[in-house]
Amino acid sequence: MTFDGDGTRVVHAGLPDPVPGAPFLPGPVFAAPYHLDPVAGQVVNGYGRPDNPTRRALEAAIGELEGGRTLAFASGQAAITATLLATVRAGDTVALPSDGYYAVRAFAAGALRDLGVNTVLVPTAGPYPSFEGMRLVLLETPANPGLDVCDIRALSAAAHAAGALVAVDNTTPTPLGQRPLELGADLVVASGTKALTGHSDVLLGYLATNDEDLLARLTAWRAQTGGIPGAFDSWLAHRSLATLDLRLARQSANAAVVAELLAGRPDVRHVRFPGLPADPSYPVAAAQMRRIPGIIGFDLGSAERVGRFLSASELVFAATSFGGLHTTADRRAQWGDDTAPGFVRLSCGIEDAADLVADLTAALDAA
């Protein structure tokens, strides 16, 4: 029997068949070398860098959710740089989101440029250039931190018509929010550090694809460069997947309430949340996404006011990341993002909505 419910899928994803006396999720296998067959050599596990059974179980679990074969990496940045370096060559042109994760643009301006790879920066909401002559188009939707949304199916079709590969950064929505491979993308890449694992205690990245040639190339790249997650991190990530549906449901519900609060305050400007009907991303998000992530962007006007707001709040932790159990916020300009000095990215946790509203109201009043 096939079960389609998100809650059921995340609880059972990647688990082994039940064995009496065995745990539901076996503990991490800490091994670099393994016993080999003395005559035939490697049977299943040979050496921990190219393969590990704990990592393999995690990859099977994420693959079930994304709908593609999956490789886990030590971080989201390791996964996305592997994608870029394994698919492009000197003289190739890559399209990157101009409003996406800043570290990817920095990598392109440094390492990719030094390797002779050309970069075209494109806003997530458009306008879009012709993709003729491009090797790879990377989309990030919703974009981090601006939360613009693009039509994956339409852009994938346009890129493929021009002969380009399409990769989608699925960090913000997670595979429960949208499935880019089903919408035409060739490859999904994401940071599992954020909402996927959600407990703010793991660094993890992954990519997923159904293209066997791409998978073979990326598998060889990872084995040769060694950007793998450890066994314990892989086990923690797999353990955390089971609550993904519950965590996202509470975070999204909280974000909808908080976004309405912020949008109704005259001292808060430029509120962005794709779940608000007035948001410019709402039409595409409503048609494309299965659920809206718990991230909100807004502007408090100055760095000083952001500092006062964060200092006055009792529930919002000042931290740079998102998707965790605790509500967090940071001023993005301090990290080099091309945002206004007072722009805040707020990630709703799983606290009670009424408590969040009361705390945010008091903190904004104090600021």
Domains of the chain, earliest start first: 6-241 (3.40.640.10), 244-366 (3.90.1150.10)
Selection from 161, 138, 32, 29 nearest residue 80 by Cα: 138
Write a three-state SS string for 139-184: EECCCCCCCCCCCHHHHHHHHHHCCCEEEEECCCCCCCCCCHHHHC
C-beta of residue 330 within 8 angstroms of C-beta of residue 347: no
pTM passes above 0.85: yes
Q: What is the mean pLDDT of each run of 10 residues along the chain (367 residues)?
A: 90 94 94 88 83 96 98 98 96 97 95 97 97 98 97 98 98 98 98 97 98 97 96 98 98 98 98 98 98 98 97 97 97 87 97 98 97
